[in-house]
């Protein structure tokens, strides 16, 4: 079946929910799983260890881990500088005169009520101090311009969560990827040969024009995808209004498909997005986050404090290490935890040639996975 005929078939089956569907209701509808599989998937896994200073052979990727307990500015600055130094310095990623885009994860918008007594940036949103520290290093490396980009639910996401102040300090420009500005229109970015679901995506042209693209995510579970790190963060690159099954939907329901399609469709869309807009540098904020869900619309989500930052030049390897730090096998298959409702997008990405998610092929520098492992509970 061609990609075009596949899309046509998808369009023949509009979402059957009546009226506007909320994020919570959609995820519940799309994530039905047998109780037996859920229980089996929650059992603690025995994980292989990553390579540490391998005595022979060359690892496929290097990922750095550092520990940090608070978002104090100086603490974060030192931790991020340490991460980048362990990966060969920012000059190995950013060259003088480069234009750089940094994409945090600002899911849900400010209208979503955070957990009682817990700030959004300390539970399910990328903390702005992490982006500030990274941006400072980008400037030191000689970048000409920084853009902070996200398909925000509303501009207040930038204002209320501290990103306007960070952008001012970096002389960066904030971009809402739901809009084509500063260009006149959106462009189409090709996934390339062998795409799973989408052969191309509509993007703000800036995503095509920058020299370096960085994804800075929160370390979290995801109700459907199992985990959401730097690769899943690319959902926010796509303007939401182009990828809804109905205009009244307030999530990218087209990426999920109908309930019986989500297991296969969602993880493959993640891989397609990462082929259309490759990540040059991946950074994961796991200092203060939450388990058992990606946002407070998942009732089981609970604050946790793993106290780690994780980074690498391979988004797949970085996400794999973060998944292992959360106590899960990054090569696990559906329906084993944390991939209780979807195929494992990390396995799909590795098969598509985006890198490795096998810990014995990854060199971990700094703290070891074993020393910082913090067992997460999947979203129920």
> Phi and psi of 160, rounded to 5°?
-75, -20
114 in a structural domain = yes
**pLDDT confidence of 22, banded at 50, 70, 90?**
very low
Say what the pLDDT of residue 50 is.
Answer: 54
Residue 33 has pLDDT above 90, yes or no: no
Domain total for the chain?
1
Residue 288 has pLDDT above 60, yes or no: yes
CA distance 22 to 297: 9
Instruction: Give the whole-number percent of the chain exceeding pLDDT 90.
Output: 82
Say what the pLDDT of residue 172 is.
Answer: 98
Say what the pLDDT of residue 8 is.
Answer: 35
Say what the pLDDT of residue 227 is.
Answer: 98
Residue 29 has pLDDT above 50, yes or no: no
378 in a structural domain = no
| Beta bridge partner(s), residue 202 | 188
Q: Which residue has the higher pLDDT, 20 or 97?
A: 97
Instruction: Give the domain range for residue 107.
Output: 3-372
CA distance 171 to 105: 20
Residue 197 has pLDDT above 80, yes or no: yes
Residue 67 has pLDDT above 60, yes or no: yes
58 in a structural domain = yes
Mean pLDDT of 47-75: 79
Residue 28 has pLDDT above 50, yes or no: no
Residue 129 has pLDDT above 50, yes or no: yes
Instruction: For strands 281-291 and 212-222, give the pairing.
Output: parallel
Say what the pLDDT of residue 57 is.
Answer: 62
356 in a structural domain = yes
> Per residue in 327-378, pLDDT tens?
999 999 999 999 999 999 999 999 999 999 999 999 999 999 999 999 999 9
Residue 77 has pLDDT above 80, yes or no: yes
Say what the pLDDT of residue 1 is.
Answer: 39
CA distances to 90, 152, 175, 295 from 110, in Å: 32, 10, 17, 12
C-alpha closest to that of 237 among 265, 208, 194? 208
380 in a structural domain = no
Say what the pLDDT of residue 247 is.
Answer: 82
247 in a structural domain = yes
Residue 24 has pLDDT above 90, yes or no: no
> Per residue in 295-335, pLDDT tens?
999 999 999 999 999 999 999 999 999 999 999 999 999 99
Long-range contacts of 168-173 (CB under 8 A, 24+ apart): 169/132, 170/132, 170/135, 170/136, 170/139, 170/146, 171/146, 172/102, 172/135, 172/145, 172/146, 172/147, 172/148, 173/145, 173/146, 173/147, 173/148
Say what the pLDDT of residue 250 is.
Answer: 76
CA distance 197 to 213: 23
Say what the pLDDT of residue 6 is.
Answer: 35
195 in a structural domain = yes
Mean pLDDT of 154-173: 98
Say what the pLDDT of residue 54 is.
Answer: 41
Say what the pLDDT of residue 131 is.
Answer: 99
83 in a structural domain = yes
**pLDDT confidence of 175, banded at 50, 70, 90?**
very high
Residue 47 has pLDDT above 70, yes or no: no
Say what the pLDDT of residue 344 is.
Answer: 98
Residue 17 has pLDDT above 70, yes or no: no
Place of tokens 């500005």: 181
Residue 234 has pLDDT above 80, yes or no: yes
Say what the pLDDT of residue 286 is.
Answer: 98
**pLDDT confidence of 55, banded at 50, 70, 90?**
very low
């Amino acid at each position: 079946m061609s990609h075009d005929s596949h899309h046509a078939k998808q369009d023949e089956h509009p979402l059957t929910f009546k009226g506007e569907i909320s994020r919570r209701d959609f995820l519940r509808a799309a994530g039905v799983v047998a109780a037996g599989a859920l229980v089996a998937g929650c059992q603690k896994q025995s994980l292989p260890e990553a390579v540490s200073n391998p005595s022979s052979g060359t690892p496929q990727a290097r990922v750095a881990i550092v520990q940090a307990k608070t978002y104090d500015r100086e603490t974060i600055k030192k931790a991020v500088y340490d991460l980048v130094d362990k990966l060969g310095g920012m000059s190995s990623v950013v060259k003088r005169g480069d234009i750089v885009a940094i994409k945090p994860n600002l899911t849900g918008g400010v209208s979503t009520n955070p957990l009682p007594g817990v700030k959004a940036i300390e539970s399910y949103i990328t903390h702005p101090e992490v982006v500030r520290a990274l941006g400072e290093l980008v400037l030191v490396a000689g970048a000409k311009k920084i853009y902070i980009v996200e398909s925000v639910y509303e501009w207040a996401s930038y204002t209320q969560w501290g990103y306007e102040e960070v952008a001012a300090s970096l002389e960066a420009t904030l971009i809402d990827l739901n809009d084509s500005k500063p260009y006149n229109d959106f462009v189409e970015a090709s996934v390339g040969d062998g795409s799973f679901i989408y052969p191309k995506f509509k993007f703000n042209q800036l995503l095509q024009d920058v020299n370096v693209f960085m994804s800075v995510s929160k370390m979290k579970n995801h109700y459907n995808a199992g985990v959401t790190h730097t690769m899943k963060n690319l959902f926010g690159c796509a303007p939401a209004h182009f990828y809804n099954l109905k205009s009244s939907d307030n999530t990218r329901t087209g990426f999920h498909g109908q309930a019986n399609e989500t297991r296969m469709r969602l993880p493959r869309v993640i891989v397609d997005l990462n082929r259309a807009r490759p990540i040059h540098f991946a950074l994961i904020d796991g200092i203060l986050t939450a388990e058992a869900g990606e946002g407070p619309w998942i009732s089981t989500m609970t604050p946790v404090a793993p106290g780690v930052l994780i980074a690498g030049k391979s988004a797949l390897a970085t996400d794999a290490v973060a998944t292992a730090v959360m106590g899960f096998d990054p090569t696990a298959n559906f329906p084993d935890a944390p991939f209780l409702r979807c195929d494992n997008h990390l396995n799909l990405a590795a098969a598509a040639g985006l890198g490795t998610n096998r810990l014995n092929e990854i060199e971990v520098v700094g703290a070891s996975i074993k020393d910082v492992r913090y067992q997460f509970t999947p979203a129920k």
